[in-house]
Structure 1
Amino acid sequence: MHGVTPSTVRQKVLRGGFTTAQKIGRNWLIDKNEPYNDKRESEMHGTSMDDVLNAYNKTGSIKETSRICKISEQKVRKVLITKNAYSTPLSDKISSLSDRGLTPLEISKKLNISRAAVNSYMPYAKGVYNSANPTENAQRIRKSRDRLKR
């Protein structure tokens, strides 16, 4: 429910958090009313992709844009690549290989770089929402959300 891993729950319990947490087998059960203070910063701090693009157009610098928008330089670069406002020889090569149908893992092996590096140079991909033919995972998520609403 909180989007955290079992190891995060375990660590939080050890530090006095999640007071209602109980471990049953491999799973942790936490009362749904237990407050969860997520100390992580939100991904874009309420900054839109257009805000990032506008800041970059004014500064011409990924580093300065990162400072202004309070997001990482990697996230700024990924937003700019998504908006077709930034490219490098590496991003062009990754894009070309992706357009040929290679997966990020295949690209990483071909270019001898990590899969995380490949993903950081690929544009954001937005999935199709409310599709008439949802994926199996989307169906499970919908079913789970429906149960929570009851």
Structure 2
Amino acid sequence: MSNDGGVRSVGDKRAYKPRKPGGGRKKLKPEYDAGKNLKEQMDAAVALYEEDCSLQSIADALALNPIKVRKLLITAGVYESEVAEKVKNTFEEYRETQDYKTAILLTANTLQLSKASVTSYLPYQKGVYFPSTADKEKISVGAERQRRYRAMKRWRADSTEENFWPMPG
């Protein structure tokens, strides 16, 4: 690089400058941890499942959907059923040669299931999603932003007090 006032020509590269630790944008919710939330829900579901509770009774106890409970138990590796086994094996086979989305579609086709049904039998990839009634501390920044957006959309469509102060539950 020539020393002509800092002007670089196309081929010139800037020297690598390592970043300072702790630099960058501050987290909006430093206490939010999707992995920790997933583990807590999974542990609670597994404990109840090991006491021979039904998916529905676990769902009721944890205020979750029974399908979500099943997915948590599958993620934990404790839930077993013929369908779960078929979905897992078929999906893994397709996944060796296909991307995630294609593998899901092919699995759904092969087993004559809906796409949603196939994903419900696969373990969680990232974190767990909380119901719309969950406390703000439990949800991600993105989920919180989406919640605000939807609330404003409801309010604009129908400016009633109920839509401005929705009741939890």
User: Which of structures 1 and 2 has the bigger CA Rg?
Assistant: 2
Cα drift, residue 47 of structure 1:
5.4
Two-structure CA RMSD over aligned residues (Å): 2.4
Structure 1 equivalent of residue 55 of structure 2: 62
* Bigger relative CO (Cα 8 Å, ≥ 6 apart): 2
Q: Secondary structure of the residue that 1:100 maps to in structure 2?
A: helix
Map 1:1-150; keep pairs closer than 5 Å.
48-102=41-95, 103-126=103-126
Q: Answer whether contact 1:47 1:69 (CA < 8 A) is retained.
A: no
Cα distance per residue 1:81-135 (max 9 Å; x no partner): 11111111111001001221341111001111100000001111239xxxxxxxx
Q: Secondary structure of the residue that 1:82 maps to in structure 2?
A: helix
With normalisation by structure 2, the TM-score equals: 0.45
Runs of 4 or more off by more than 2 Å in structure 1? none
Q: Answer whether contact 2:94 2:106 (CA < 8 A) is retained.
A: no
With normalisation by structure 1, the TM-score equals: 0.50
User: How many equivalent pairs are there?
Assistant: 84
Report % sequence identity: 29
Structure 2: segments with no counterpart, 5+ residues: 1-36, 96-102, 128-169
